[in-house]
Amino acid sequence: MAHILLVEDSPEVSMSVREILSAAGHTVAEAASGKQALEQLKAAKFDAIVSDIWMPEMDGIALLKEIRGGGSKIPIVVISGGAPNAPLTYTAPLAATFGANVVLYKPFEKEELLGAIKSVLG
Amino acid sequence: MTPPPVTSNAAPDSATGDLSLFGFIESVSDGVVIVDQQDRVVMANRAALGLIGHTRDATLGQPVAGAFRIFLERMRSRKPSGPMRFEHFYDNEWYMVQIYALVSPDGQSSTAYTIVLATEVSLRKRREFDFIETVAGLEEATRIAQMGTFKTIWQTGQIEWSPHMYTLHGVTPDTYNPASGGYAKFVHPDDRDYVQRANRDLAQGNAIANVQYRLVLNDDVLRWMRIDSRVLFDSSGAPYASFGTCQDITETKRREEELRELLRRNAILYEALEASPNGVAVLTAEETGLTILYVNAAFEQLTQHNSFSLNTAGLDALVTDDQSRVWRSFNAAMNASEGGAFEVDCRRRDGSVFPAQVELAAVRDHPGRAATAYVITVRDLTAEKERAAVLLQSQKMEALGQLSGGVAHEINNLLQPVIALSDLGADVLERDPGKAKQYFEVIGNSGRKAREVVRQVLTFARRDTPQLLSHDVLPLVIDAINLAAKGLPPNIVVETHLDLEDAKATLSATQISQVILNLMRNASDAMNGRGRIVVDLRRCAAEDVPAGMDRARPWIRLIVKDEGCGIDAQALARVFEPFFTTKPVGKGTGLGLSVVYSIVNTWGGTIKIDSEVDQGTTAVIYIPEQI
């Protein structure tokens, strides 16, 4: 089982994703922005990150750049609210180019998320 | 002058008595007339009759008249030793006349006179005559025309100037002698060769006409002169003299130059008009009505009318509906000598139609007077309209994409807990009912948030525009503020300045509530949940009503002001766009101000947002007060 950092500003989404992960036996730490996530990453060691894109203070893309820019290879699963072809989702495909291992589009089934976590943890 | 009446030929009487002499006289080529003491013709030979054109019978016994009688009397009184000679002009011919007296045997008195008429007159004599006549005529003419005249006798080198000639050259007979030469000093250096050539031509016997050159007078004043001159010849055919006129044509030259410049400008204007991509027609307004004076190439191409066909058909032929409101106002403007711009459907000569902007400009000779002409410009709006339609369509598609993308994003986020927690809830329902209950609450909240998104989208799309009624504004605003304040974080202070008694407006309570809720929520978010919101409601003084709005009617002004982070200029320009938000997702739908904007529009009101980064934001809403 893994220790996962969940970065999500919507409390309902964060809660539901946390519940999926913890029900599967993972331990979860939550952050409401990229900035909070970076602080938690400094303080503790995580096996994977699940991150939203559009958040206050520091969004998911900036967070990706920060993490990958620092040379970290930690697995990252991006969860995006945009449909793959909707105009606002340009940041979701962008996430892959900035080093996201998997991009999931909300709303997703719990199996999709757990499968993604499993695949990135190898 | 009457001709010398010629007489004869009765038999020669005592005066001659010699038949052979008579025959001689009859045969000479000169005309010979013999008169008695009473000036009656006693004989006229054939040549004399031929010259004069009278018959012998009509002439004999008749007294001579006119110049002949004068000379005969002179002859009698002076008693000259020899014949008297004079020249006489008669019937376009020049005669040399000699009168001989036939003296009585005592030598004391003349018994008869013989007049000899000769047609042979020297060429020089004729030239001189012409000259005198010419000079006399020209001098009279030049005196009237303020011309200077000059005469040159080539063989003597004598040069004479008329008084005005001196004046033209800024000299007097005391200061300048034309015969002394040195005329070149008057002439502009560039023209000296030309003037000298003309003078040489004259000396060689060629008349000159319209020789134009510049004089440089004392004070460096340039004057344009024109010289015309003709040459008179002597009997040998050599130039004898010339006579000419000199005229100051400076003013004429100036006018010519002005005219040339005017024509040049006209040509440029004409070319410019012809090159214009817009149709241009020029009309003159006279008492008899309007006349199309000119249409340019673009006008002909656009309307298929030339000035002739348009004059025949009339201006109304240019539009599809000459009774339309806009065309009536076009005609009204024309009748009032005013200008204006009118968007009309233009009709070509072949009946086809194109949208056009027709601009009317009145041309006045004097400000305030009726127009003397009009300029009509026709601009084809077809391409512009097509571009605008394409742009509008793409904007619509963009807005639709933005709207659907925004809605999808919101709903997707809210569906995530619904799907995930309903699954998990089913799993834990029996094992951990407390947790399941918590899940269901989140599911329910997510559903309600989704409902709010849909509601806002529908408000934005004006699908559920409520019925607008006349309401007292103040109580609605107070209720709305109280409702909105309940949902705000505890560290937000709401300060109200409500000074609006008995002011009614046409709106709905829900709308007021939505507007105030959205603005106050924005204000709170801009201050991160800590700070002061000021709500101000009062009648707006006329001078505070923004330009472009009707200042004649009363307005209610609602202000919601914060001390928050502000909005930069770039974002400020987009705040009313649907789903444009400066807030992170989850915080704002990006629909708030769009909804406010559309609500205020349904009231016939206006909203303005003033903001500067870190200086706070002020939203001002103007609501038309019901009168």
Tens digit of pLDDT for each residue in B15-69?
A: 444 455 667 777 777 788 888 878 888 888 888 887 777 888 888 888 887 767 7
Query: pLDDT (tens digit, 9 = 90+) per residue, B315-369?
Result: 999 999 888 888 999 999 888 888 888 999 999 999 999 999 999 999 988 888 8
- ipTM for the complex shown: 0.85
Domain B469-624, architecture per CATH: 2-Layer Sandwich (3.30)
The verdict on a CB contact (< 8 Å) between B585 and A82 is: no
Name every chain A residue with its beta carbon within 8 A of the beta carbon of B449: 12
Angle formed at CA B160 by CA B159 and CA B164, multiple of 5 degrees: 140
Are the beta carbons of B301 and B349 closer than 8 angstroms? no
Residue of B394, B397, B402, B416 best to disrupt the A interface, most CBs of A under 10 A: B416
* Predicted pLDDT at B107: 60
Domain ranges for chain A = 3-121
Nearest to A9 among B439, B446, B586 (CB): B586
pLDDT at B212 over 60: yes
* Predicted pLDDT at B415: 94
CB-based contact, A86 to chain B, within 8 Å = yes
Which of the pair, B453 or B356, is modelled with greater confidence? B356
CA distance A99 to chain B (A): 22
Query: pLDDT (tens digit, 9 = 90+) per residue, B104-147?
Result: 666 666 667 777 776 655 544 555 555 555 656 666 666 667 78
* Predicted pLDDT at B59: 82
Residue of B412, B415, B431, B439 best to disrupt the A interface, most CBs of A under 10 A: B412
Segment B485-501 shows an average pLDDT of: 89
* Percentage of chain B exceeding pLDDT 90: 29
Superfamily of domain B19-121: PAS domain (3.30.450.20)
Nearest to B412 among A55, A87, A107 (CB): A107
* Predicted pLDDT at B357: 93
| Distance from the Cα of residue A70 to its chain's centroid | 17
Sheet containing B279-286: order of strands: B289-295, B279-286, B373-380, B353-363, B340-347
pLDDT at B98 over 60: yes
In CATH, B125-253 is 3.50.50.60:
no
From CA B534, how far away is CA B560, in angstroms rounded?
6
Domain A3-121, architecture per CATH: 3-Layer(aba) Sandwich (3.40)
Mean pLDDT score of chain B? 82
pLDDT at B454 over 80: yes
Nearest to B408 among A12, A82, A109 (CB): A82
Instruction: Report which of B602, B618, B515 is spatially closest to residue B563, judged by C-alpha positions.
Output: B618
Q: How confident is the model at residue B224 (pLDDT cuts 50, 70, 90)?
A: very high
Residue B415 phi, psi (nearest 5): -75, -25
The first and second tokens of residue B381, run together, are: 């709006």
Q: Please tell me which residue of chain B has the smallest CA distance to A23.
A: B424
pLDDT in tens, chain A (122 residues): 899 999 998 889 999 999 999 999 999 999 999 999 999 999 999 999 999 988 877 888 899 999 999 999 999 999 988 765 555 545 677 788 888 999 998 999 999 999 999 999 98
Task: Report the top-level CATH class of B386-460.
Answer: mainly alpha
Are the beta carbons of B86 and B117 closer than 8 angstroms? no
Superfamily of domain B292-374: PAS domain (3.30.450.20)
Domain ranges for chain B = 19-121, 125-253, 292-374, 386-460, 469-624
From CA B83, how far away is CA B566, in angstroms rounded?
132
Query: By CB neighbour count within 10 A (0-12 exposed, 13-18 middle, 19+ buried), where does B366 fall?
Result: exposed
The first and second tokens of residue B73, run together, are: 């009397």
Do B292-374 and B125-253 fall under one CATH topology? yes
* Predicted pLDDT at B130: 59
